[in-house]
């Protein structure tokens, strides 16, 4: 980066992405905000290394991912997971099939996927990252990213179909 201002602008553009990534792992909005702040602090201290990376966005997302996983593990060990936070995150109604209910149901299904699938589908379909960037962020190869995306999309599709056809007789 040419200047400190350009660096700050670059990192600030990632705030929403980092928040959504952390929230998808922790299911706690306050914890996700704390993680974003911690990421910014760590990235600032290692800004030269981050900016020399082939994919600085992916590198920063990897830092957020690792911090969120560490926090989630610590929360799990303490057994203090807030049921209210989980209920707020997964709040939806199956009685109507309008767009918001389908979107909410989709978020719930994605949240229930295995971690690698959940992160791959989030980074690709929600954040718009390229396969190569996702592979860098998840420290894997592109083939694994494509496989996890395929499996995640198939699972989401099957669960949506199953939920939408609940109670409907199949001939």
Indicate where the chain has its CATH 1.10.1740.10 domain(s).
Answer: 1-82
pLDDT at 94: 41
CATH number for the domain formed by residue range(s) 1-82: 1.10.1740.10
Per-residue pLDDT tens for 18-75? Answer: 999 888 888 888 899 999 999 999 988 888 888 888 888 888 988 999 898 888 777 6
Mean pLDDT of 85-95: 43
Answer yes or no: is pLDDT of 161 > 70. Answer: yes
In 3-state terms, the chain is what percent helix, strand and coil (to 5)?
Answer: 75, 0, 25
Indicate where the chain has its CATH 1.10.10.10 domain(s).
Answer: 90-171
Percent residues over pLDDT 70 in the chain: 80
CATH 1.10.3720.10 fits 90-171, yes or no: no
């Amino acid at each position: 980066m040419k200047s400190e201002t350009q660096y700050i602008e670059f990192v600030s553009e990632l705030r929403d992405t980092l928040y959504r990534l952390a929230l998808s792992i922790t299911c706690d909005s306050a914890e996700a905000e704390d993680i974003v702040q911690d990421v910014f602090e760590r990235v600032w201290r290692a800004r030269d290394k981050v900016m020399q990376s082939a994919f600085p966005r992916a590198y920063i997302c990897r830092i957020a991912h690792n911090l969120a996983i560490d926090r989630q593990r610590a929360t799990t060990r303490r057994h203090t997971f807030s049921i209210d936070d989980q209920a707020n995150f997964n709040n939806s109604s199956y009685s109507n099939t309008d767009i918001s209910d389908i979107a909410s149901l989709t978020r719930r299904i994605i949240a229930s996927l295995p971690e690698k699938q959940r992160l791959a589908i989030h980074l690709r379909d929600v954040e718009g990252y390229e396969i190569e960037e996702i592979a860098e962020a998840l420290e894997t190869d592109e083939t694994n990213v494509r496989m996890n995306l395929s499996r995640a999309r198939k699972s989401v599709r099957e669960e949506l179909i199953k939920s939408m056809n609940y109670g409907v007789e199949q001939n």
